[in-house]
Amino acid sequence: MTNRRPRFGLLRASLALLALILSAPDAFASDRLQLVASFSILADMARELGGDRVDVVALVGPNADAHNFEPAPQQSAVIAKAKLVIANGLDFEPWLQRLIAASGTSPSVIYASTGVVPNLTTHDDHPGAPDPHAWQNVSNARIYAKNITEALKSADPDGRATYDANLERYDVALQALDAKIRASLASLPIERRKIVTTHDAFLYFGQAYGLELMAPIGLSTEAEPSAQDIAKLIRQIKRNNVPAVFIESAINPRLMNQIAAETGAKLGGMLYSDALSDEKGPAGSYITMMEANIKALMQALAP
Ligand SMILES: [Zn+2]
């Protein structure tokens, strides 16, 4: 029987997979402070600020869309082991309370956007709803970092000095990032500072750094744009001479490809809005994500 060896290989692989599945609920396996973050950007901030004292699991991982997230049943087991849950707030995680209820436990929940002045959307789909994408303004990310640090200090008082030191270091990096973005955008002629993205994820960014934004769908990716929405946007792009259209990392690029083709606007590449790339990608952390976005914007918009 020439196929005996491969069959044993398959058995071994199956056993390894089984072991992996059985160990999955033990995502937390140390005496560090056990944290759950609702999505990849908050998970990165929590790791930066918590350092060696914390273990962090993200519910919505890299390259995944939090708007359309449907929690898997085993994720309530991850929450059951957490001491602290870090969420964005501003209606970004409508699924979170149900997931916490399903866990049968009551971990502390903090909203990193507390204290941010929210944009209220004027877009047709949810007029007056808060825009959740506050992290796209680095000044807001500094507020997130302070809120997360306070929560870490309450949950793990022995680590207070470490958390304060981590915040000080991280905040210096955030201030440098903010200055870098400001200087880059300021170097562009005003008529070039216009872009189209799939959904309205960059309004805080545009407000903070002077970039005009258009999008065929609103604050959430749940809605599909109508043919009229798309036709209206195409007219706007042509009328305003918008130089570039960008795809977003966690969203199907089909619509943006179509809009670029119909308007003659340049396809500017990829922007990261609501999710990091995986660790080896160009946007593995909040800071490198913002840097990758600036690089893509400058490449597409510099005359
Ligand atoms: Zn979004």
Domain ranges for the chain:
28-177, 186-301
Q: Provide the total of helices (H) and of strands (E) in the chain, helices listed first.
A: 10, 8
Distance 274 CA to ligand 1 centre (A): 5
Q: Is domain 186-301 annotated with CATH 3.40.50.1980?
A: yes
**What confidence score (pLDDT) does residue 125 get?**
61
Mean pLDDT of 7-23: 54
pLDDT at 15 over 70: no
pLDDT at 11 over 80: no
pLDDT at 25 over 80: no
Percent of the chain with pLDDT over 90: 72
For ligand 1, a single-atom ion, the residues with CB < 5 A are 201, 274
8 Å CB contact between 284 and 278? yes
Distance 250 CA to ligand 1 centre (A): 9
Give, in order, the Cα–Cα distances in Å from 35 to each of 19, 54, 82, 93, 283. Answer: 24, 7, 5, 16, 22
Provide CATH code, domain 28-177. 3.40.50.1980
Give, in order, the Cα–Cα distances in Å from 171 to each of 29, 61, 90, 288. Answer: 29, 24, 23, 15
**What confidence score (pLDDT) does residue 182 get?**
97
| Residue 33 one-letter amino acid | L
Mean pLDDT of 220-247: 88
- What confidence category does residue 13 fall into, taking pLDDT thresholds of 50, 70 and 90? low
What distance lies between CA 87 and its chain's CA centroid?
A: 11
pLDDT at 68 over 70: yes
Q: Which two tokens stand for residue 81?
A: 């082991």
**What confidence score (pLDDT) does residue 4 get?**
41
Distance 48 CA to ligand 1 centre (A): 23
Distance 113 CA to ligand 1 centre (A): 15
Distance 222 CA to ligand 1 centre (A): 9
**What confidence score (pLDDT) does residue 2 get?**
38
Distance 43 CA to ligand 1 centre (A): 17
8 Å CB contact between 63 and 272? no
**What confidence score (pLDDT) does residue 193 get?**
96
Distance 67 CA to ligand 1 centre (A): 6
DSSP-assigned beta bridge partners for residue 58: 37
Give, in order, the Cα–Cα distances in Å from 195 to each of 18, 171, 249, 261, 268. Answer: 47, 29, 16, 15, 9
pTM of the model: 0.87
Distance 151 CA to ligand 1 centre (A): 25
Distance 246 CA to ligand 1 centre (A): 14
- What confidence category does residue 26 fall into, taking pLDDT thresholds of 50, 70 and 90? low
Question: What letter does residue 130 receive in the DSSP assignment?
Answer: B
Which residues lie closer than 8 Å to 17 by C-beta, 6 or more apart? Answer: none
**What confidence score (pLDDT) does residue 9 get?**
52
Mean pLDDT of 172-184: 98
Percent of the chain with pLDDT over 70: 88
**What confidence score (pLDDT) does residue 5 get?**
45
Distance 100 CA to ligand 1 centre (A): 22
**What confidence score (pLDDT) does residue 235 get?**
92
